[in-house]
Amino acid sequence: MPEEIILSVDPSLRGTGYAVLARRDGKTRALEFGRVANPPALPVEQCLLAIHECLDALIARHSPSCMAVESVIYVQSYRTAIVLGAARGAVLLSAARRGLPVHEYAPRKVKQAVVGRGAAQKQQVGFMVRVLLGLTETPQEDAADAIAVGLTHFAAIDSVRAFAKPPPGPALRRGA
């Protein structure tokens, strides 16, 4: 099987986490991960541009086949929702500009897939990401969340493939 490469993203205006993950023969590794850290004084439009430019460069450098993104979380503040929506827009624009399909995963589903509990703490996600990828250090929280989104996407792909395969053993005939 050829190597699968994906770009996974945890959008946020001031700290967008990203990860480029590759998988071959069931073995997943991180090619690159990090955080787009936008300082508080940077205007919103410059933050959005920084997110877009970083992701665009990652896509050009690694040629992923798709993008996996953490979906919108429920927020009580409309201002927070608008800012988060703008950051997601910059992320989705990067994918659309390069023709990448986008797959979205709810935060609870990501935690469930990586930690086994949908209400897991960020430290637990970081620890499991480190263990699952065999990293020497725990990634920064935003990057760990992005890696977790990518691992969730690979698990979703595996699940679809498992159901698409015919069951093992002889085929059953009707009326026999």
- Tell me, yes or no, if 56 is annotated catalytic: no
- Tell me, yes or no, if 142 is annotated catalytic: yes
Q: Indicate which residue of 70, 137, 141, 145 is catalytic.
A: 70
pLDDT band at 176 (very low <50, low <70, confident <90, very high): very low
- Tell me, yes or no, if 141 is annotated catalytic: no
Domain membership flag for residue 80:
yes
CATH number (domain holding residue 142): 3.30.420.10
The total domain count for the chain is: 1
Query: What pTM did the predictor assign?
Result: 0.88
Q: Domain range spanning residue 75? A: 4-163
Domain membership flag for residue 92:
yes
Percent share of the chain, pLDDT over 90: 73
Q: Quick one: pLDDT at residue 162?
A: 67
Domain membership flag for residue 169:
no
Average pLDDT over residues 107-117: 90
Domain membership flag for residue 96:
yes
Q: Indicate which residue of 53, 142, 145, 158 is catalytic.
A: 142
CB contact burial 153-165 (16+ within 10 A = b; e otherwise): bbbebeeeeeeee
Domain membership flag for residue 175:
no
The tens digit of pLDDT for each residue in 44-72 reads 999 999 999 999 999 999 999 999 999 97
Alpha carbon 155 to its chain centroid, in Å, reads 12
Average pLDDT over residues 112-137: 90
Q: Quick one: pLDDT at residue 170?
A: 62
